[in-house]
Structure 1
Amino acid sequence: MKIALVAGEASGDLLGAGLIAELRKRFPQAEFGGVGGDAMRAAGLDAWHDASELAVMGLAEVLHHLPRLLRLRRDVRERVLAWRPDVFIGIDAPDFNLGVEKWLKQRDIRTVHYVSPSVWAWRENRAEKIGRSADRVLCLFPMEPPIYAKHHIDARFVGHPLADEMPLEPDRTAARRQLGLDHDRPVLALLPGSRVGEIERLGNDFLAAAARVLASAPGLQIVVPMANTHAQAAFQRVLTTHPDADALAPALREIVGHARTLMIASDVVLLASGTATLEAMLAKRPMVVAYKVASLTYAMVKLFGLLKVENVSLPNVLAGERVVPELMQHDCTPEKLADATLAFLRDPDATAALQPRFRELHLQLRQDASARAADAVAELLARP
């Protein structure tokens, strides 16, 4: 058995590692090759390229990196075809993987796409295009398979691995002890993103907002978890030129990794929209969600009416209503970010009201996702 996988960025790397571990239980002699990060390598992937090479987001950013991405895609698909795996599994990174999957499917290689693109938010008719690329789609969220069913596409809800990993009742005391945080002072977790571009766009506003919150809550502990050395260097560039750097210095602390532990330890999380919002929900912590994209990207989204939903953060989408504040693009200002953060710090009842709702959503997503995904792949492989 030969199984090819391609994952982009850290979240896809973790999904791929869990899937490889479960597939190995079903196919002990299987070989795994493709594109992944440290977690997938540790699980047994023969990595031809690193997952970070696919970590590009936004229309303007993709255009800038397009020649390199096209060369990478050509190399990957030709290498996969030469290897002739029993199945190709594209993990997230739809702009890259769907094209590879379609090309391979036309050459009689079974294809699976793991992590549905957000068809519930962006152009539902993409489901048909995805069906032309993938023999089966593995969905992390329950609202996704019904959309594919309308287009006669084989899609399965497998749950989300993060919901399996994270405890239903997080231990805040233990998390603060692990990070060496003062138990008697409030904690603000600051997560301006894991990509350099995100940090450059959001870092200044997040730091200015944190300074405003600190002025109203003098005992505040502000902690910034860095995803990697590239993110840390980008954040340092923003911090060293920021006008509030001196005011923030006594309260601000950077750590490498431990973002999930920090979320559990925090009183409020101020973060960029993305998978981190799901982690904050599973940590049962109140959050303020913010995001900015490149001006060209935003202009194109508005011009063509690409965004079809009012809420974009996962807690709000899963809940079917706005349960946490979202401050996007022009609303992403230091003043609005600070006001929304202070609202949670000043109102413990608002935090308490979120707990049962977040627990309900946690249980909905807790499905032993990696095992269910591996079962769906094995079932596809059993077909003639």
Structure 2
Amino acid sequence: MTPERPLQIALVAGEASGDQLGAGLITAVRARLGDRVQFAGVAGPAMRSAGCEAWFDSDELAVMGLVEVLAHLPRLLALRRKLYRRIIAQQPDVFIGIDAPDFNLGLERRLRRTGIRTVHYVSPSVWAWRPKRAARMAQCADLVLCLLPFEPRFYEDYGVAAEFVGHPLADSIPLRPDRAAARAALELPGTGEVVALLPGSRASELDRLGAVFASAAARLDQSRPGIGFVAPMAAPALREKFAAQLAAHAPGVPVRLVDRQAQQAIAAADAVLVASGTATLEALLLKRPMVVAYRLAQGTRILLEKLKLLNIRRFALPNLLADREIVAEVLQDELTAERLSAELTALLDRDSHDDYLQECDQIHDVLRQSASERAADAVLRLTGRSS
């Protein structure tokens, strides 16, 4: 009797967050199938460690915003053509595009036309901008795996199979983070106020937010003697860039720069100043009050306004999940050091955050669904395989 061919899964993960999602999915599928499954595609270090053969590194997809994508378009299109040819030659049982929708959806559509089953892991933000992408998904993906509970309903009108699996961060972050332990691990004082500064994980975000974050820290340092700051940096180049911004805009201010360790830095803090994005969800799950800031690239902002592609009243994930404003959002022209320091001062002076903490607990409970395991089960159901 001929042994069953191992399940062949091709994956493309965009940047570090996609790499972590992919690693969790790979681990969960392997737990069910053992050596009866093989993985290959675009992967980062976490996916490679989990057992994925890397044809290309996920960092090659790490661009954001309309203008930034356009600048890299020739290289990205060439990479996508190479991937398409390689996947067609391999003929996997399923292709999984992890995030990176501007790259993956076109690839998924072409592969699906050839009969290869496709999954898109992480719904594009169709609820925020470019909502017509929800209709496009019907041509791209046999299944959309959603991290947020309100996302599947956006696909119902288009006949797209979409399943909420929960968010891996909610599975990994403890329900009751330990501030004292986090401060000890980062060698921060056990007493006194600490503010975490998270101006972004990309150079383009630091270009837009780093200086104003530093200036806000300088204002707080003047008004609140003894306050301390911690800033986790995603890469050495970003640490160097932010250090220069601090030297220029907050000389002498006690800011402890740490490599990565974003969750520990947030857990150690009394309040968080954070760029809009996944880090806001980490701050919510770690039950820390926050001020969310964002400034689009000027070209991206003009395009969005001219083409009327925005479809949202709120930007911060905590507010979207709560369906009301539970954290302050400071955007675009409102983004000044004065405004940021005033919002942070209000948080630090507040007597109680009980209502906010209760909201955080409720959201954490909703998102804590064993996401990687649920995603693995959904993929295996699609392929007709099981443990």
Taking structure 2 as the reference length, the TM-score comes to 0.95
1:274 aligned onto 2:280: no
Cα distance between partner residues in 1 of 2:78 and 2:243:
32
Match of 2:381 in 1: 379
Instruction: Please point out which of 193, 202, 205 is paired with 2:200.
Output: 193
The answer (yes or no) to whether the contact 1:210–1:338 under 8 Å persists in 2 is yes
Instruction: Please point out which of 328, 331, 349 is paired with 2:331.
Output: 328
277-286 vs 210-219, greater mean Cα deviation: 210-219
Q: Deviations over 1:141-190 (max 9, x none)?
A: 11011111121110000000000011111111111111111111111100
Instruction: Please point out which of 280, 291, 295 is paired with 2:294.
Output: 291
The answer (yes or no) to whether the contact 2:214–2:249 under 8 Å persists in 1 is no
Cα distance between partner residues in 2 of 1:69 and 1:218:
49
Match of 1:131 in 2: 138
**Structure 1, unaligned stretches of length 5 or more?**
none
Instruction: Please point out which of 11, 23, 28 is paired with 2:17.
Output: 11
Match of 2:307 in 1: 304
1:247 aligned onto 2:244: no
Shift of 1:43: 0.6
Once the two structures are superposed, the pairs formed by residues 142-291 of structure 1 within 5 Å of their partners are 142-240=149-247, 242-244=248-250, 246-248=251-253, 251-291=254-294
Cα distance between partner residues in 1 of 2:277 and 2:31:
31
1:359 aligned onto 2:365: no
Call closer, same or farther: CA 1:319–1:243 in 2, change over 3 Å: closer
**Structure 2, unaligned stretches of length 5 or more?**
1-6
Aligned residue identity for 1:285: R
Shift of 1:308: 1.4
Cα distance between partner residues in 2 of 1:230 and 1:84:
39
Cα distance between partner residues in 1 of 2:345 and 2:354:
15
Match of 1:45 in 2: 52
Cα distance between partner residues in 2 of 1:216 and 1:132:
56
Cα distance between partner residues in 2 of 1:229 and 1:78:
35
Match of 2:4 in 1: none
Cα distance between partner residues in 1 of 2:202 and 2:132:
29
How many residues align? The count is: 378
1:27 aligned onto 2:30: no
The answer (yes or no) to whether the contact 1:200–1:238 under 8 Å persists in 2 is no
Runs of 4+ off more than 4 Å: none
Match of 1:111 in 2: 118
The answer (yes or no) to whether the contact 2:218–2:249 under 8 Å persists in 1 is no
The answer (yes or no) to whether the contact 1:190–1:223 under 8 Å persists in 2 is yes
1:87 aligned onto 2:94: yes
Shift of 1:126: 1.6
Aligned residue identity for 2:354: A
Aligned-residue RMSD, C-alpha: 1.2
1:68 aligned onto 2:71: no
Taking structure 1 as the reference length, the TM-score comes to 0.96
Aligned residue identity for 2:21: L
The answer (yes or no) to whether the contact 2:131–2:311 under 8 Å persists in 1 is no
Aligned residue identity for 2:286: A
* Corresponding residue SS for 1:254: strand
* Corresponding residue SS for 1:348: coil
Cα distance between partner residues in 2 of 1:151 and 1:372:
23
Cα distance between partner residues in 2 of 1:24 and 1:293:
40
* Corresponding residue SS for 1:181: coil
The answer (yes or no) to whether the contact 1:200–1:235 under 8 Å persists in 2 is no
Instruction: Please point out which of 332, 351, 367 is paired with 1:348.
Output: 351
Aligned residue identity for 1:222: F
* Corresponding residue SS for 2:369: coil
Instruction: Give aligned-pair identity as a percent.
Output: 52
* Corresponding residue SS for 1:247: coil
Cα distance between partner residues in 1 of 2:241 and 2:22:
27
Cα distance between partner residues in 1 of 2:172 and 2:196:
21
Aligned residue identity for 2:46: A
Shift of 1:125: 2.7
Aligned residue identity for 2:185: Q
Cα distance between partner residues in 1 of 2:360 and 2:154:
24
